[in-house]
């Protein structure tokens, strides 16, 4: 199954964190087939914190969605993630954006990720590597979602 993951970090050596996270994802989740550029943006939600670095990955996995979630959360913890507050500063965040074209509404996992249409920092790297990928419930491509996004955050490709 093709899945899209979003990496985010605003503490520590963000690029090294992503490099290590991609190694671990390759070992435990699946083959990384595409990587977006690195994108820097101001914090979203809770804005009084350092800028974030974000990157979208396309992986091919044999894992089921909850297995992907368990692995990504384990990698976050292994790399020092401590969950203190929603949208707070973090060493690493890994979000499952899409699991193929499946729609899941489970207590611990919603796919597609519910905030995709609202977040320029997610849509810019998604549109970079998969502009024509269709959102399964909105029937819009990533490029169309980016074009319609009302989030006016400045998102810069590095």
Cβ neighbours of residue 52 under 8 Å, at least 6 residues apart? 8, 9, 10, 40, 41, 42, 43, 44, 121
Q: What whole-number percentage of the chain has pLDDT above 90?
A: 83
Q: Is the pLDDT of residue 15 over 70?
A: yes
* All structural domains of the chain with their residue ranges: 2-157
Radius of gyration (C-alpha) of the chain in whole angstroms: 14
- Alpha-carbon torsion (107, 108, 114, 119), positive or negative: positive
Q: What is the pLDDT of residues 39-73, one digit of tens each?
A: 998 877 666 778 999 999 999 999 999 999 999 99
Task: Return mean pLDDT, the chain.
Answer: 93
3-state SS, residue 12: coil
Q: Is the pLDDT of residue 34 over 90?
A: yes
List the catalytic residues.
81, 90, 93, 95
CATH of domain 2-157: 3.30.70.560
Q: Say what the pLDDT of residue 84 is.
A: 59
Of the candidates 5, 9, 6, the one whose C-alpha atom is nearest the C-alpha of residue 90 is 9
Residue with tokens 């964190």: 17
Q: Look at strands 39-41 and 109-111 and give their pairing.
A: unpaired
6 versus 41: the higher-pLDDT residue is 6
pTM, to two decimals: 0.94
DSSP string across 93-134: EEEEEEETT--EEETTEEES-TTGGG-HHHHHHHHHH-TTPB
């Amino acid at each position: 199954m093709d899945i899209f993951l979003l990496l985010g970090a605003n503490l520590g050596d963000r690029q090294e964190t992503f490099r290590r996270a991609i190694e671990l994802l390759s070992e435990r989740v699946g083959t990384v087939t595409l990587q977006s550029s690195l994108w820097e943006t101001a914090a979203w939600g809770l804005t009084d914190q350092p800028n974030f670095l974000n990157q979208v990955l396309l992986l091919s996995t044999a894992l089921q969605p909850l297995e992907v979630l368990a692995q990504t959360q384990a990698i976050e913890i292994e790399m020092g993630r401590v969950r203190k507050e929603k949208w707070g500063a973090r060493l690493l965040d890994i979000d499952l954006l899409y699991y193929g074209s499946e729609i899941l509404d489970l207590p611990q996992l919603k796919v597609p990720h519910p905030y995709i249409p609202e977040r320029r920092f997610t849509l810019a790297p998604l549109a970079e590597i998969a502009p024509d990928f269709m959102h399964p419930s909105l029937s819009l491509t990533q490029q169309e979602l980016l074009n319609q996004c009302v989030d006016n955050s400045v998102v810069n490709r590095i």
